[in-house]
Structure 1
């Protein structure tokens, strides 16, 4: 990253920010930022899946985005899990100004719908783990951005509650408009119809989180709250599994 170059902006993002993008699908969002900046030396873009899986799922467009990113100097990493990305051999020594996770999703299950409690619990587990690992990769004055739909059932993920357990607080909530990011094509992802888009409607927002200041760090009561959230999620999972076991005669 060369701060002697002219600073360029696209919406919330600057070519002078060191940024980490996680959970990229076809890499069209990363590529959009790189084109706006004219360079991607300030960017690390990652995917959960390996490269072969991505190319099989998203095809030639994904290959084109990856080639463009690498030509512009982006560090592209595959098989990065947000649960433990702070332990990734390449990432663990880095600090970022902004960490971006667009439309997080814990994966589709053929017999579960988005409104089903078990899938909501899985999503909450994912986001909580992301906050925990992101906290160790973020600069002191950095931000975590999660773009997410804020209607039911998605608002039941309770992002603001989850962020507090990892020492974050909500700084700002800004309406997300895909038109602000030319070339970005949001994808469903996963193994079930992964290469189709999903409706963003008019209820998608970018939630900006920052680390709580030292004067407002987690107290013992907050720490108790953190463990209560984890316990509540575990109890939800146990209850749902017991109900499913009874329903399908697995008990």
Structure 2
């Protein structure tokens, strides 16, 4: 299995070349939205690399109480770090309609990051079952549609995803294209490049 990072931009997209603090594809001058954060370890990794998170908004679908119940041992430290580094943290943000969120609706982002999206497990279906694949595709289609309206002029949507069976059946490129996004680059996602990310 190879995990890949997929970068999508509007057809006219370009790249920001300003010299700032960098970690892989991200820098401290970009306005970054992180969605679907589990224990907030990815956003904490970026914040530590930048030395500040004032350019970041990190979100989760879970309420804060649910998040702390699910990931207490890891999320508590990450949330504390993010707050200390001035990250805006939002809970109960659904990626399907995030562009309507009261806090997010008037902000344009240079990077919107969704790592390993998943519509949730179901005890009746396996990952290869059509029904669950359709749920994943519906989630990603709605995400791309919402995210495409939240990008700055040269903004990009980054999705980390598995490209083996059955995950490639999600057809991310086709779903992104429906939202007016085009694939700019596909790169290997190397977890070790993001210290502390779980």
Q: TM-score higher than 0.5 here?
A: yes
> How well do the aligned residues superpose, as a CA RMSD in angstroms?
0.7
* 1:164-187 CA-partner distances (Å, limit 9, x unpaired): 1110000000000100000001xx
Q: What are structure 2's unaligned runs of at least 5 residues?
A: 1-18
Secondary structure of 1:111's counterpart equals coil
Q: What are the equivalent positions in structure 2 for 1:1-251 lying under 5 Å apart?
A: 7-185=20-198
Tell which structure's C-alpha radius of gyration is larger: 1
Q: Secondary structure at the match of 1:33?
A: helix
Partners of 1:18 and 1:166 lie apart in 2 by 21
Q: Which has the higher strand share?
A: 2
Q: Which has the higher helix share?
A: 1
Deviations 1:72-91 (A, max 9, x none): 00000000001110000000
Cα separation, 2, equivalents of 1:61 and 1:163: 32
Q: Taking structure 1 as the reference length, what is the TM-score of the superposition?
A: 0.71
TM-score by length of 2: 0.90
After superposing on structure 2, the runs of 4+ consecutive aligned residues of structure 1 that deviate more than 2 Å are: none
- What CA distance in whole angstroms lies between the structure 1 residues aligned with 2:73 and 2:114? 23
Higher relative contact order (CA 8 A, sep 6+): 2
* Structure 1 residue 136 displacement after superposition: 1.1
1:41-74 per-residue CA deviation (whole Å, 9 max, x = no partner) reads 0000000000100110111320110010011000
Can you give the 5+ residue segments of structure 1 that lack an aligned partner in the other structure?
1-5, 186-251
Aligned to 1:199: none
